[in-house]
A and B are shown apart, each in its own frame.
Chain A
């Protein structure tokens, strides 16, 4: 077994990296894969609470790197899936507590035991990103369909290419079908044309995400959630399954809008 090491990153903050990492990890474990997810957002620990594992932390990433514990002592086994592990970030340190080469060594030391290692990166182009991208075989960029998130995504995609970790693939998160229909949100085709990278998945904006995060139960565990279904599809695509993209109904043209108005009045 040799794990694929995948870094999940973004230019702009708050677009859904941690949500994506948690859900893809759980979905892969649900498929029987051995998965370790690593929270590399040092100082802003989050992946643990999204996964509902925050009460089980004894050691963290920095403890491993500084030799305070063995790596398997810092790997928290998920209570739902015994093939899923989390290495949490240190909360009281900063991103300079680890170096890119230490991140590479850490990932390589567990690579043979895993199918997937997923790294949740901090946003932006600073040291935290460099730590998270260093061990990666592949990179996934998360963005939302708004101008600043797409602009910053373009910047990070360029950096990933410059670091020879490309081509990155894209998750377009928080897509609102109604707004697309009204012509008030860019659709996936628009964003793809601008960014010119491969689309891994489209995730709808879905209230279930917040509800499930409140409970520490990633949304893929909710069979009714559309975002959950989208993350399950993304995980399946990562394993090589060819799953068609969710249809986030295209923009209605003027004639359709017009005929609807008449239909209402008639």
Chain B
């Protein structure tokens, strides 16, 4: 179903439950809070900027899960010379 149509109807509570659980389970499984993720991001930006020019505001750090395995994905676009 088209997303704009879905927005017309009220958000289903089942979808909300799933979205909330997704976040909670990541934290339960890894003990990583949003605050720790942010700290890690700042530290990474620090280290990497020492070697190559990057735009700190473009750096993204996210946790994804494949099956029951958690994976930290860090996306750091490098500035063109």
Contact = CB atoms under 8 A, between A and B. Distances in A.
Q: Do A and B bind each other?
A: yes
Contacts of A118: none
Contact of B18 (A180, A184, A194, A254): A194
A185 B18 CA distance: 10
A20 to B, nearest CB: 22
Interface stretch (B23-31, B36-44, B45-53, B54-62): B23-31
Nearest to B13: A184
Given A155-B28, A186-B18, A196 B12 contact: no
Q: Which of A182, A194, A255 has most chain B Cβ within 10 Å? A: A194
Interface in A175-203: 180, 182-187, 190, 193-197
B12 A184 contact: yes
Interface stretch (A52-60, A68-76, A146-154): A146-154
Contacts of A195: 68
What's the dominant secondary structure at chain B's contact region? helix
Contacts of A183: 12-15
A194 B14 contact: no
A196 B5 CA distance: 30
Contacts of B72: none
A158 interface: yes
A186 to B, nearest CB: 5
A66 to B, nearest CB: 38
A251 interface: yes
Interface residues of A, number: 27
Contact of A180 (B6, B14, B21): B14
B71 interface: no
A161 interface: yes
B34 interface: no
Contacts of A193: 18
B65 A196 contact: yes
A147 B25 contact: no
A184 to B, nearest CB: 5
A255 to B, nearest CB: 7
Interface in A136-160: 146-147, 150-151, 154-155, 157-158
A265 interface: no
Nearest to B5: A254
Contacts of B24: 147, 151
Contacts of B65: 196
Contacts of A161: 68
B1 A196 contact: no
Contacts of A254: 1, 5-6, 8-9
14 contacts: A147-B17, A147-B20, A151-B21, A154-B25, A155-B28, A158-B29, A158-B68, A183-B14, A184-B12, A184-B14, A187-B14, A190-B17, A194-B18, A196-B68
Given A187-B14, A254-B1, 7 more contacts: A151-B24, A151-B28, A155-B28, A158-B29, A182-B12, A186-B17, A195-B68
What are the 7 A-B residue pairs with the smallest beta carbon separation, nearest first?
A: A183-B12, A253-B1, A196-B67, A196-B68, A254-B9, A190-B18, A186-B14
